Every structure is written in structure tokens, then in C-alpha cells.
Amino acid sequence: MCHWIERHCVYGEGDFFGAPVKLHRFQRRILYWLYEYHPVTGARRYRETFIEVPKGQGKTPLNGWVQLFELVGPPLFGPKGSPLIPVAAASFEQADLIFGDMKHCCRESTTLRHFVEAYENEILVKNGPGRAYRVAAMAGTNDGQRPSSLAADEIHEWSGNKERVHLVLVNGMSKRGNSMVVNTSTPGSDLDTLAGRKHLYGLRVNGGEVVDPRFLFVHYAAPDIYDLTDEEQLRAAILRANPAAGSFLRLDDVIARFHQIPEFEFRRYHLGQWTRAEECWLPPGTWEACAGTVSLDPDRPVFVAVDMALKHDSVAVAIVQPTEDGKIAVSATVWTPDGDTVDVIAVENHLRDLHRRFRVQTIAYDPAYFVRSAQVLFDEGLPMAEFSQHAGSMVPACQEAYRLICDGLLVHPDDATLTDHVLAAAVRETDNGWRLSKGRSRRKIDGCIAMVMALFLCGAPAEAVIEPWVLSV
């Protein structure tokens, strides 16, 4: 198996594009486990595998090489018949990571190109039956299939109806002899999911609590015994969890990430640990440490953001200003609804007042609830700019706010309302990364969201932020 991969497969996108694959020791170990024979029957021993490792270990291309072997490699467990291989992930974009590697491998390999034809969404065997194809985990699109092998990538993102798609595909495999499921994933933050349940099941299998000789759980992670604030222990934890560290994964780059991203995210992505992200968007004490005196200078530029609502919710306007000592001062005003209705006129007048008193560079707003007011204010000369609260803008904005707070570069006046909104915010995972939400408590966080938007405007280049969003007359 390993000899076949190194003879026929090449690397996809990256520094080694088109170069022949050279398997590392830990990758060989995984393949040795994956392709064990049953000691009595000679059939495939493991019918389902879950490879759970931190980011950067090459799990996605490894799964792709396995699927190519299943498509055109020599039969190891009896006749292959007609190989049918779904290459699946939570979205088409995610599925294209593993399928894209497979396509590049087929097109760039001097040998595989003679056996297969690689198209945009499928790879076909020449002169015989056999197909691998890209799919997304969307309910209702995969019924009736009889896969011989399944590649399921990043299954921690397979939530809701997507879990049923995994069940449907796996159920179809019961009709194929020696079929195989290879699940790959980094850890997640909710154990009550497809990946979380498989993680717990794998731990019980490996610990001997459950006897399931057909389930293989490959798990690389650091135990929660290290003090990550100590440089030596941080390095030891990374080496414990990352078998690729020191080879194609740069250890110093991973160490640097500890100081750049939230700790819960670092533990998930780089130490292989499951976390409960909704409980900790900020490390304890970091927001409190940023409290200080805020006195906005009318002669220095400021950036303003509005988190608007129409009823049953609060409204917040945040104003931020870079200070002479390299920090960013922040202040916020929050309105609670009078009954069911927000006083929109009061919000508009507050923005007018800020524009008169300060050098306002930009006033950002989510167009969902503020378009009419924004047009009125824009016509009066206020620099209004759309800031849609979708993941593409809020993910980097939330992470920038996290960095500023954790690095002590933000100063706030220790206002009780703003503090409550900031500490009430919870993390919500998206395909693009984490962002803030109300979480399960449903407490008010509008002041936090307005602050996050304003901080992002303050730190982003003007041409990258304002021009795409500015309103036209």
C-alpha cells in the first residue's frame, strides 16, 4: 500500500506541488493499521476509521491517496467490482480540498494519468468501471448509493441534517463487501455531534470499554497537563500532539499561533483537544485588565459603529479612537427599547452629535435594520458605510478584537453595561472560523458587536474597508 502511494501519487497544492509523495513514519503507521487483514478470514479488518488529529498533519491528502488506491490500486481483499467512492465534506468548498488534491494527483502523476480521467467533479477509471466523485453533506442528495469506500472530511462540521447524510452513505456501504469509511477531522467544541460521538466512542474502543474490532480510532492529542504559558511546556505539548512537527509542520509557526489566536481555538486546532468554546471567548481577567480612563480627543480621528435593532432588543453605538501611546480607546452608548420599539430618532441624533464633536472617519452599520436612517444621515454629510454582519466580515473582526484585548492594546472606561455585553458574548463556529453570538444565555451583546465592528474599521486600511461599502447618492 505504501509502495503504491509513493510510486503513483504526487503532492497537490502547496510547496511540493507535483513532487512524488514521500510518506512520513506516522503516516505509514496509520496506513499499516488501516490495511490490516482480519487474522482469521483474511478480509479487511477495519470497516470504519476515524483519524482525529490537529491541523497541519496532512490528514486530508492522506485520505485522498487512500481513496485513489481504492479506486485504481490492486485489490487486496478480493475483487473490487465497480469502485464507487464519494468524497464528502460539510460543503462543496470543503469537499474540494480533498477532491482537489485527488484531481491534481491524477493529472500530475506520470502514471495515474494513464489509468484515470479527472474532471471537475468526478474521476473516472479508463477502460473499466470505477468512479470517485465530490459531494457535499446535503440531505436528500445521496440516497440509493452503494459506495465501496467513503472519504468524509472534517466531520466536526457535519451538524444538523448533515449527520443523516453520513448515516445514509454508510448504510449504503453495507451492500458492498470489504467496504471502508475513512473519517478525518480536527476536534470540535460540541461532543453532542457526529464527530463528538465518534470521538467518545473511539476512546471507549481504544480503552477496552467497548469491543468493536471493526472500528479504528487514530487520535493524536496532548493531554491537558501542560502549562501553556511556559515556553518549554508549550513546546512539549505541541510535539506530543503533532506527529508532523519538525518535518513538514514548522514548530515555531505553531508556537507563534498560541500568541495570536484564542486559547480554546489553539487547543482545538493545534493540541487536538475538544473544547467548549461558548464558555470562553476571552481568557479570564483580560477584559478587566484593559479598564482605564477614556477621554476622547476631538482633534484625533474616530471610528463609529452601530448595532441596530427594531424591537425587543437593545441598540448600541460604539466609538473608538487610536491614542498617542499606541492603544485604542473605546466607549459605547446602549439604548434599551421603550416597550417593544427602539427610539430610532435618538440613535440618529446621537450619530449627528458625534459627527459634530469629533473627526468621524466612518460610521459603520449593518444594512439589515438601518438603511433608511443611513441614507438620511448620508445625505446630511455623515460618512455612512455598510458593514454586513455575515461571517466573511465578522470572523476577522471578532478575531482582531480578541487580539487587541488580549495584548492589552484596548482601553475601556469600565462601563457596567458595556462590560456585561462583552462578557455575555459567546463563540459560534462557522465554516470560516469563529465569531461572536448570544450563545445559549441569549443575553444582550449589542455593545460588544458594535465595538468589534468599530475596532475592525480602526485597524483596517481605508481602501480595504470603506470603498466597497460606502453608499452612493
pTM: 0.64
* pLDDT of 266 above 70: yes
Q: What pLDDT sits at residue 340?
A: 64
- pLDDT bin (cut points 50, 70, 90) of residue 27 is very high
**Residue 433 φ/ψ, nearest 5 degrees:** 130, -170
SS3 of the chain: helix, strand, coil, percent, to 5 = 40, 20, 40
Q: What pLDDT sits at residue 312?
A: 61
Query: Which residues have CB under 8 Å from 142's CB, separation 6+?
Result: 86, 88, 135, 165, 168, 169, 172
Q: What pLDDT sits at residue 131?
A: 94
The C-alpha atoms of residue 404 and residue 267 are separated, in whole angstroms, by 20
* pLDDT of 346 above 80: yes
* pLDDT of 140 above 90: no
Query: Which residues have CB under 8 Å from 310's CB, separation 6+?
Result: 341, 342, 369
Average pLDDT, the chain: 86
- pLDDT bin (cut points 50, 70, 90) of residue 279 is low
CATH assignment of 286-469, among 3.30.450.20, 3.40.980.10, 3.30.420.240, 3.50.50.60: 3.30.420.240
Nearest to 133 by CA among 96, 170, 104, 161: 96
The C-alpha atoms of residue 241 and residue 272 are separated, in whole angstroms, by 6
Neighbours of 37 (CB within 10 A): 12
The C-alpha atoms of residue 238 and residue 55 are separated, in whole angstroms, by 11
Q: What pLDDT sits at residue 427?
A: 82
Reported as a single tens digit per residue, the pLDDT across 192-219 is 789 988 998 998 898 888 899 999 999 9
Cα separation values, 450 from 164, 318, 331, Å: 37, 5, 10
Task: Please report the DSSP string for 305-323 in residue order.
Answer: EEE--SSSS-EEEEEEEE-
CA angle 268, 270, 271 (to 5 degrees): 70
Q: Where are the domains of the chain?
A: 2-219, 231-275, 286-469
* pLDDT of 463 above 70: no
- pLDDT bin (cut points 50, 70, 90) of residue 430 is confident
Residues of the chain above pLDDT 90, percent: 48
Q: For 18-30, what is the mean pLDDT?
A: 94
Reported as a single tens digit per residue, the pLDDT across 63-120 is 999 999 999 999 888 888 899 999 998 888 888 889 999 999 999 999 999 999 999 8
* pLDDT of 49 above 80: yes
Reported as a single tens digit per residue, the pLDDT across 37-48 is 988 888 899 999
Nearest to 143 by CA among 176, 178, 167, 163: 167
The C-alpha atoms of residue 400 and residue 262 are separated, in whole angstroms, by 11
Q: Which helix (H) or strand (E) holds 362?
A: strand 359-365
Query: Same CATH topology for 2-219 and 286-469?
Result: no
CATH topology of domain 2-219: Rossmann fold (3.40.50)
Reported as a single tens digit per residue, the pLDDT across 226-265 is 889 899 999 999 999 999 998 889 999 999 999 888 788 8
Reported as a single tens digit per residue, the pLDDT across 92-106 is 888 888 999 999 999
Residue 132: all three cell numbers together = 470517485
